């Protein structure tokens, strides 16, 4: 794809003006880094607040065609408890195929609208595929309304709350995985307390015509810097979060991918979602392979595609995400190994450029996640535990 055919987000001019190094990503021209550099951008996000343009991701509304709950329809393809979502509550879930493989991961939020319509955010590289699947499988029940005229800005890091609360104090009251309409600089935005960096923060859906002005207003704070895709990837990797199409794909089940927290308890009992036969079998009998964290002993990063070998040198798996973790201060990776090798501390070898490098299976996240946790311990972290 040539530069001419790449799509531009509403923040494109801002990226270029700020010295962003633009690269093709999922059909868009996106900044991989700014003059600050990936290392400092990563560290800044963990210390202050990073502003990420995630406008390339797919935003849509899902409406019911007959007035029933649209969540009941999409639950056929998604294993999370979605019908129980109250207005303003959101959940991480998965789009499954009939074989129990993961087509994509996504965020589903119940809006405050009387018809219970859902606001959904999907991965940029998958949005056309996801919309096609929803249309093909569920088109008789629901309507997918892509929101092409909105930007999406993520503000992530320990200073995110203080910075955004300057514009709208009520955002401080949102709990993790809660969302609401908020007026920012005179513009009605849809703000959620969520993100994909392991840090506290927000994602802000804003009309595209207002996105640049809002980003510029947030950047006026000394606690906010623009952060590119490079640091976004190292932040999510350290946080142990899966990258769609890399750490899972359409052949990998939620059990193999280690995202069973996305399988609602009652949903498991009912087994009424695509691929349930395989997924429930793997839950009871264990999968043959599973995604694990990997901590190389040395300094060499193990990138995606690096073979994983046992102590005797027999190839047993493959790295699906890997690189250098700036906060960890060394290389970190994730990959698939047979279940017998999945215990924390298991010694393996990473075959980097044909040479064996020692590593151990490590727990993820590699860093402490710092999502805000209000209310009692019983209701904390709806994302990871589920109902």
Partner 1 sequence: MIKFTEEHEWLEVEGDVATVGITDYAQNALGDVVFVELPEVGATYDKGDEVAVVESVKAASEVYAPLAGEIVEVNEALEGEPALVNTAALDAGWFFKMKLADVGDLDDLMDETAYNEFVEGLD
Q: Which is nearer to partner 1, 79 or 326 (CB)?
A: 326
Nearest Cα residue to 306 out of 352, 260, 275, 266:
352
Minimum Å gap between C-beta 193 and partner 1 is: 28
* Binding range to partner 1, per CB under 8 A, among 56-64, 110-118, 228-236, 253-261: 228-236
Considering only residues 89, 217, 246, 303, which one is a binding residue for partner 1 as defined by CB under 8 A? 303
Window contacting partner 1 (CB under 8 A); options: 38-46, 258-266, 268-276, 362-370: 38-46
Minimum CB separation of residue 39 from partner 1 in Å reads 4
* φ, ψ (nearest 5 deg) of residue 327: -75, -40
Listed ranges 114-122, 136-144, 211-219, 295-303: which one lies at the site for partner 1 (CB under 8 A): 295-303
Q: With CB under 8 A, what is the number of residues at the site for partner 1?
A: 20
* Interacting residue with partner 1 among 33, 197, 205, 244 (CB under 8 A): 33
Binding status of residue 24 toward partner 1 by CB under 8 A: no
Output phi, psi for 301, to 5 deg. Answer: -70, 140
CB of 284 to partner 1, least distance (A): 41
- Residue 86 has what DSSP assignment? P
Contacts of partner 1 in 353-382 (CB under 8 A): 353
Nearer to partner 1, 355 or 375 (CB): 355
Burial of residue 26 (number of CB atoms within 10 Å: 0-12, 13-18, 19+):
middle
| Minimal distance, residue 330 CB to partner 1, in Å | 9
- Dihedrals phi, psi of 232, to nearest 5 degrees: -60, -40
The SS3 assignment for 318 reads: strand
Vertex 80, ends 117 and 238: CA angle to 5°? Answer: 110
- Please report whether residue 20 would count as binding partner 1 according to CB under 8 A: no
Choices 82-90, 171-179, 226-234, 312-320 (CB under 8 A): range interacting with partner 1: 226-234
CB 167 to partner 1: min, Å:
32
With a CB cutoff of 8 Å and minimum separation 6, the contacts of 302 are 294, 296, 319, 322, 331, 333, 350, 352, 357, 359
Distance of CA 312 to the CA centre of its chain: 36
* The two three-digit tokens of residue 211, written as one number: 């996105």
Using CB under 8 A as the binding rule, whether residue 37 contacts partner 1 is answered as: yes
Q: Out of 6, 16, 26, 32, point to the residue binding partner 1 (CB under 8 A).
A: 32
Asked if residue 39 binds partner 1 (CB under 8 A), the reply is yes
Q: Supply the minimum distance, in Å, between the C-beta of residue 327 and partner 1.
A: 12
The binder of partner 1 chosen from 100, 198, 275, 323 (CB under 8 A): 323
The distance of closest approach from Cβ of residue 352 to partner 1 in the complex, given in angstroms and rounded to an integer, is 8
Contact region for partner 1 (CB under 8 A) — 122-130, 230-238, 241-249, 364-372? 230-238
Residue 307 beta carbon to partner 1: minimum distance, rounded to whole angstroms: 15
How many angstroms separate the CA atoms of 153 and 194, rounded? 11
CB 278 within 8 A of CB 253: yes
Give the residues across from 355 on adjacent strands. 352
Determine contact, residues 178/219, Cβ cutoff 8 Å: no
Binding of partner 1 at residue 324 (CB under 8 A)?
yes
Tokens 């990871």 correspond to what residue?
384
How many Å apart are CA 163 and CA 222, to the nearest integer?
9
3-state SS, residue 126: helix
The nearer residue to partner 1, 230 or 386, going by C-beta atoms, is 230
* CA proximity to 121, closest of 167, 54, 67, 73: 54
CB of 205 closer than 8 Å to CB of 152: yes
Q: Which of 194, 205, 191, 197 is nearest to 229 (CA)?
A: 197
> DSSP class of residue 41?
H
Closest to partner 1 by CB, 7 vs 32, is 32
Query: Which parts of this chain interact with partner 1 (CB under 8 A)?
Result: 32-33, 37-40, 42, 230-231, 233-234, 299-301, 303, 323-324, 326, 331, 353
């Amino acid at each position: 794809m040539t530069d001419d055919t790449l799509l531009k987000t509403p923040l494109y001019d801002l990226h270029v003006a700020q010295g962003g190094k633009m690269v093709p990503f999922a059909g868009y021209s996106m900044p991989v880094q700014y003059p600050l550099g990936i290392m400092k951008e990563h560290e800044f996000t963990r210390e202050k607040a990073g502003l990420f343009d995630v406008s390339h991701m797919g935003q849509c509304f899902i409406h019911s065609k007959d007035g029933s709950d649209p969540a009941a329809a999409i639950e056929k393809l998604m294993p999370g408890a979605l019908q129980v979502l109250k207005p303003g509550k959101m959940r991480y879930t998965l789009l499954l195929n009939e074989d129990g493989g993961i087509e994509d991961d996504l965020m589903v939020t119940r809006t405050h609208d009387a018809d219970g319509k859902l606001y959904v955010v999907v991965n940029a590289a998958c949005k056309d595929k996801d919309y096609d699947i929803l249309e093909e499988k569920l088109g008789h029940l629901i309507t997918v309304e892509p929101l092409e005229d909105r930007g999406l800005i993520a503000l992530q890091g320990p200073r995110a709350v203080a910075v955004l609360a300057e514009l709208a104090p009520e955002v401080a009251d949102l709990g993790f995985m809660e969302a609401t309409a908020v007026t920012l600089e005179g513009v009605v935005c849809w703000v959620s307390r969520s993100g994909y960096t392991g840090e506290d923060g927000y994602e802000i859906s804003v009309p595209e015509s207002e996105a640049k002005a809002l980003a510029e207003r947030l950047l006026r704070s000394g606690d906010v810097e623009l952060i590119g895709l490079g640091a976004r990837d190292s932040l999510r990797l350290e946080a142990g979060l899966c990258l769609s199409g890399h750490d899972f794909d359409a052949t990998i089940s939620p059990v193999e991918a280690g995202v069973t927290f996305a399988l609602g308890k009652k949903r498991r009992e009912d087994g009424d979602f695509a691929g349930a036969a395989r997924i429930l079998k793997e839950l009871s009998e264990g999968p043959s392979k599973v995604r694990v964290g990997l901590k190389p002993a040395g300094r060499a990063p193990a990138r995606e595609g690096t073979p994983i070998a046992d102590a005797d040198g027999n190839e047993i798996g493959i790295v699906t995400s890997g690189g250098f973790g700036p906060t960890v201060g060394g290389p970190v990776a994730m990959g698939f190994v047979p279940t017998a090798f999945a215990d924390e501390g298991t010694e393996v070898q990473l075959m980097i450029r044909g040479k064996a490098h020692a590593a151990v299976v490590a727990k993820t996240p590699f860093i402490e996640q710092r999502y805000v946790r209000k209310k009692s311990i019983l209701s904390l972290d709806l994302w990871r535990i589920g109902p």
